[in-house]
Structure 1
């Protein structure tokens, strides 16, 4: 393991100890964090230029640190695989920990990325840190590819340097509406709207376009210190065949309980904000059984009603081999693809942020989750949504949303 050293001048920024992946995948198999000494490849260096990729997300603290850890794990695997092929220019990762997804940490870590001279960033992950970080990274022509943040209101030249592996939030809601339309036994659909889930309009429009009967039940938004009261609305739900609600957290669980108590026996269709272990734990009494959720993300749930697509099965196998048999955690596949997209640019000889950004805009490459293609605004083209269902108290993978539940 290298000993910390510091060189003078510009090389002092580029010749630092970082959390490295410049070793074979085998090192990742035991979950080891390797510290290596890298150099920039400037005149006089002994080996060609090393691409430095920052990984920005909350990797410590009580809030969202599991997601930041998943971000790091996905990036680790991508860079380990890349370096194991002995490319002419290697890649290294730089940890940019936003600690509890604090927006101010987004600012600090973006400045650190500039100071260290990173070539591109995987992340940020969350809305607040993204708003702060990208405003610093983009003017410095440092592209960032977020695995999880689906939309960011950049404009002008700034937009050129921001990309996302998640489509706009409207995409999953529209896909879920199409899935509902395919269900022959479903004719009466209710959209529960509390004003906090912006997907209600998208879902309702999709169901109407498919010829189904749909009505909206509105619930007043309570003050911040009060909980939603779903009981009055629940009385209007019992005769529906299906209920859609795009809310998150305990609101979803309470809606389900009140609707069941009022006599609703149909199926719930939910937003991807409920696709987490907390929801399953809170809904463990079986009231959510049969609920269907769609996400523009990949979740390896441990159970599947259909075989995994080959690209996902292959990715899961490679990840398990490199991580002691573990299944990829949430956000790992998208983090891998975000890193892999940058590495494709590096492999093609792109080194500056502007070169990498130009490459990403025009790329079309298969990834672990889907084919990676961006439009001129950094948004994913032809994205895929996947369906999941609550069965036996756990999420079951149903496959591509266009074919699920046929």
Structure 2
């Protein structure tokens, strides 16, 4: 393992800035891009995703997860620190090309943690690929992203071709739902995921509908669902719309099981109150019941004063890959891209290794449920 992922247990030590063994000994270093294996200097890592706007709740833990990895690296390299810069897309595909062009033009940005969402990944991907900026997304799950031939694209989690079937299995095998209504938010992520779930559920689907992001009146959709009387509703989309949608469905008299995916796994969804109770959330994000993630959660909470949110640990892993390369002396994008493509090390969330399309070799999908006003892990969906 290039960076020792073992966290100290003492809260006092954590508060002072836990240090990880960042790069091993001098003898361990390969020096694949620098002189003699010494850490490269004057470099930046970029976050690309929502820092503000409606989706900021999903961006915050990604930013903080990456920040923690960088802060710990810098503790070990105080004379040669890595700078963390943020490119705030607000989760919008429309904003992505200009931001990607900005990143591409700054040669000191040697890697990108992100893009966070699928739509912005599709818009920014060609620009990153053209100039060779390696990216590792901790959260973009649309399967088509790895089919574009971008050598620069990687993701640190399973895509919706694994999450969608897992959600469908849970609906059929665990919920025993015989009828399901499928709704999406027309986004690249939401529509893609909902389509996979619909296909896998087959004849169990009694209706489909599409809403729009930033929509607040779902009365037409509520009428369609209550008329169909499904045992379950699957929604492909993000927490902003899901929070309102479930409230209106409950007010409309529907009492079945609401099933959503990782785009809804945010504390803001709990603002729906009683209406959110019993909601099932699927996510390719590992719960903090895992020992390694639990130790990560302690240091995260010490640093930021709150528990890690969705994809914080995956963002830590994504940043750590780049930091391993920088620690090995890599100081240019070409060598960093080769380093990432060849990477095969144990991370917090999984064995971090990519296939030739940038997909992770180690994929798991987990179920969570909203219980007593909290999002509680149920376990892996086998």
Partner of 1:178: 169
Partner of 1:368: 348
Task: Determine if contact 1:57/1:96 at 8 Å carries over to the other structure.
Answer: yes
Aligned residues: 347
Partner of 2:9: none
Counterpart check, 1:395 vs 2:372:
no
| Aligned-pair CA distance for 1:361 | 2.1
Counterpart check, 1:203 vs 2:197:
yes
Distance 1:348 1:394, change over 3 A: same
Aligned partner (choices 267, 279, 289) of residue 291 of structure 1? 279
3-state secondary structure, aligned to 2:357: coil
1:252-267 to structure 2, matched below 5 A, reads 252=242, 256=246, 260=250, 264-267=254-257
| Aligned-pair CA distance for 1:206 | 3.4
Partner of 1:317: 298
Counterpart check, 1:165 vs 2:159:
no
1:5-404 to structure 2, matched below 5 A, reads 28=17, 49-50=40-41, 52-57=43-48, 61-62=52-53, 64-65=55-56, 67-85=58-76, 91-98=81-88, 100-101=90-91, 103-104=94-95, 107-108=98-99, 110-112=101-103, 114-127=105-118, 129-131=120-122, 133-151=124-142, 153=145, 159-183=150-174, 186-193=176-183, 196=186, 197-207=191-201, 214-219=204-209, 227-228=217-218, 229-238=220-229, 240-249=230-239, 252=242, 256=246, 260=250, 264-281=254-271, 283-284=272-273, 286-298=274-286, 308-321=289-302, 323=303, 325-402=305-382
Partner of 1:33: none
Task: Determine if contact 2:183/2:211 at 8 Å carries over to the other structure.
Answer: no
Which structure has more relative contact order (CA 8 Å, sep 6+)? It is: 2
| Aligned-pair CA distance for 1:347 | 4.1
Q: CA RMSD in A?
A: 3.8
| Aligned-pair CA distance for 1:287 | 3.2
Give, in whole Å, the separation in 2 of the partners of 1:199 and 1:99: 22
Distance 1:178 1:162, change over 3 A: same
> TM-score normalised to the size of structure 1?
0.70
Task: Determine if contact 1:292/1:388 at 8 Å carries over to the other structure.
Answer: yes
Task: Determine if contact 1:96/1:109 at 8 Å carries over to the other structure.
Answer: no
| Aligned-pair CA distance for 1:310 | 1.1
In structure 1, runs of 5+ residues without a counterpart are: 1-23, 30-40, 301-307
Q: CA deviation digits over 1:69-101, x for unaligned, max 9?
A: 4333222221333344569x9550241433645
Task: Determine if contact 2:104/2:127 at 8 Å carries over to the other structure.
Answer: no
In structure 2, runs of 5+ residues without a counterpart are: 1-12, 19-32
3-state secondary structure, aligned to 1:188: coil
3-state secondary structure, aligned to 2:206: strand
Task: Determine if contact 2:40/2:328 at 8 Å carries over to the other structure.
Answer: no
Q: CA deviation digits over 1:97-124, x for unaligned, max 9?
A: 3364565475256435533423222223
3-state secondary structure, aligned to 2:197: helix
| Aligned-pair CA distance for 1:219 | 3.6
